[in-house]
């Protein structure tokens, strides 16, 4: 029985990915900043570990407790929605610490065991905003675009060790409350000149009626990267993500 370690499992994509792998009879190590035994279904194949991907000591402990794994899914992430002009550089660094550097740190921590076994897979969760830019998301987009570029280069670097590396690109996922969480990360006021754009973007999120991405779509895309050795390194997840992906392909 194979083992997958997934970051950011307290809600949204991470929670669904964990459930999906459990349903496919994998051992699952679900990590989160504040572990809870009530989030995931009870299973003898489930372990819940405390992990903060921005903390080196927390990563070290998680790697030690996890032991040997077959797949690492870097899903933990934070949003950022608002005008760049009024976004502090501390806030910018905070987003990159989780979305980009956290992904890199986790990957680096598990690569030695994958390389030693000449086997393993790393799946990073990014976003389709890296394919089609939207206003008020420059920091979030940049942090996820860095993950895509990192994944592409790493896939080439690790191919000789039989380590598969891929990135999943979800689209708009209203069920994850991304918009409200992302907008909440900008505490300071922004210039009035941006109000119309902010209102339009928020209204767009709230009133959107087109195709969307569901958490199960992301879980299936992660599964595809893990199971299909011939798949491209970028995999869209969700009907809207597929549309955007095909537009730029």
Give one word for 67, left, alpha or beta, with left for phi > 0 and alpha for psi -120 to 50.
Answer: left
Q: What is the pLDDT of residue 149?
A: 98
What is the pLDDT, as a whole number, of residue 248? 82
Q: What count of Cα atoms within 13 Å lies in the side-chain half-sphere of residue 34? A: 2
Compute CA distances 127 → 14, 110, 116, 143, whole Å. Answer: 14, 23, 31, 10
pLDDT at 202: 81
Task: Check residue 173 and give its pLDDT.
Answer: 84
Could you list the residue range(s) of the whole structural domain that residue 138 is in? 3-248
Total of domains in the chain: 1
What percent of the chain has a predicted confidence (pLDDT) above 90? 77
Integer Cα distance of 166 and 151 in angstroms: 6
Q: Is 194's pLDDT higher than 60?
A: yes
pLDDT over 70 at 187, yes or no: no
Q: Please tell me the pTM assigned to this model.
A: 0.94
Give 228 or 112, the one with higher predicted confidence.
Answer: 112
- Which segment of 144-153, 209-218, 230-239 scores lowest on mean pLDDT? 230-239
Q: What share of the chain is helix, strand, coil (3-state, %, to 5)?
A: 50, 15, 35
Q: What is the predicted pLDDT for the residue at 83?
A: 93
Active site residue 140: yes
**pLDDT interval class at 167 (50, 70, 90):** very high
State the CATH number of the domain containing residue 178: 3.40.50.720
Q: Tell whether the model's pLDDT for residue 163 goes beyond 70.
A: yes
């Amino acid at each position: 029985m194979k083992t997958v370690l997934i970051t950011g499992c307290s809600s949204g994509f991470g929670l669904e990915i964990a459930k999906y792998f459990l349903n496919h009879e994998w051992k699952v190590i679900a990590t989160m900043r504040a572990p809870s035994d009530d989030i995931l279904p009870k299973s003898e194949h489930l372990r819940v570990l405390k992990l903060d991907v921005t903390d080196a000591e927390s990563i070290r402990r998680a790697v030690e407790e996890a032991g040997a794994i077959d797949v690492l899914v870097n899903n933990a992430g934070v949003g950022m929605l608002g005008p760049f002009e009024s976004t502090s550089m501390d806030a910018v660094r905070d987003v990159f610490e989780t979305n980009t550097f956290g992904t890199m740190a986790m990957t680096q921590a598990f690569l030695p065991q994958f390389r030693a076994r000449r086997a393993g897979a790393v799946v990073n969760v990014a976003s389709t905003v890296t394919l089609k830019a939207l206003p008020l998301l420059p920091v979030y987009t940049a942090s996820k675009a860095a993950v895509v570029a990192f994944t592409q280069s790493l896939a080439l670097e690790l191919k000789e060790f039989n380590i598969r590396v891929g990135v999943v690109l979800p689209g708009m996922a209203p069920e994850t409350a991304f918009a409200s969480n992302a907008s909440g990360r900008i505490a300071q006021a922004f210039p009035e000149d941006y109000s119309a754009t902010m209102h339009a973007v928020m209204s767009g999120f709230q009133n959107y009626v087109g195709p969307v991405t569901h958490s199960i779509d992301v879980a299936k895309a992660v599964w595809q990267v893990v199971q299909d050795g011939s798949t491209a390194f970028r995999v869209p997840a969700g009907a809207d993500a597929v549309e955007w992906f095909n537009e730029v392909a």
